Structure 1
């Protein structure tokens, strides 16, 4: 006869020891977390590309593009696509974690090219209305609303493709490093 009480007690001690050890190695585990690294790299690359695309269009460096929203490519789309793809590659495409990451990516990308794009267009119209107000109007001195909030569908698609490419490259690097 097996004494289940002892093994569950040992399992409980083992679990708490594992949790304690993992909490001590949190910083190193984050830096080895392939989905987080893929997502952050995709975000950084997308924001860097925006700096160069704004320079190309305006012929001036605008460092605000490194942290601003809107523009080509969508860093939101790149980030969530990279996250979903990396989770799928790491944990499998049939698992719950991938399903959560995929739905999150779809919601964020839909929001980027619909809700936030329309909010930016509304801000543009409101800014034009305020600009045309007479000087004595109480709103004439109000600060303009931010207009560059959302993305066009091509910007969202480009961000998604950037996220996939970033994850694929990171996956190849991780795979080649583990074979060494």
Structure 2
């Protein structure tokens, strides 16, 4: 078991992906501050949606790092690339649609039950990403892998 943790700690591909996620989350907090003129510490650590997509940064850095380390014709690289494609499609497609539906449903709840005693929990509206946020995250992920996998 000792080798497991040692090998995991030395896994350059894993740390490249984690680093890309961390940088994307940090930038998300910075961009939030630039737009809203206030600090939201949740944007630095957790939270879906926003610029850039940390999911896209993580999966593209993972795919790029695997490609660099194992070769671009490797089955592992193919798996990582397809995994990245599914995650980014979901972020910009399904989750973005769910975000838009949450905005509309929250508006309906506000309008219908404005004066009543109805206590409806508001839906989380920031779930998905715009295509620009996904592309920015993906670009960040590739850059991070190229820098860290030297």
Q: Same fold (TM over 0.5)?
A: yes
Alignment of 1:27-46 (within 5 A): 27-46=5-24
Whole-Å separation in 1 of the counterparts to 2:140 and 2:22: 11
Distance 1:111 1:133 in 2: 31
Residue 102 of structure 1 corresponds to which residue in structure 2?
A: 81
C-alpha distance in structure 1 between counterparts of 2:9 and 2:72, whole Å = 23
Question: Which of 107, 132, 148 lines up with 1:128 in the alignment?
Answer: 107
Q: What is the match of residue 28 of structure 2?
A: 50
CA offsets per residue over residues 19-41 of structure 1, 9 Å max, x none? xxxx4211121121111111100
Q: Find the residue that maps to 1:132 and give its secondary structure.
A: helix
After TM superposition, the score normalised by the length of structure 1 is: 0.80
1:100 Cα deviation after fit? 0.6
Residues 79-98 of structure 1: pairs in structure 2 closer than 5 A: 79-98=58-77
**Shift of the alpha carbon at 1:136?**
3.1
**Distance of 1:96 and 1:171 partners within structure 2:** 19
Please, what is the CA RMSD of the aligned residues?
A: 1.0
Aligned length: 148
Aligned structure 1 segments of 4 or more residues deviating by more than 6 angstroms: none
Where structure 2 has 5 or more consecutive residues not aligned to the other structure, the ranges are none
Question: What secondary structure sits across from 2:122 in the alignment?
Answer: coil
2:145: which partner in 1?
167
Higher relative contact order (Cα pairs below 8 Å, separated by 6+ residues): 2
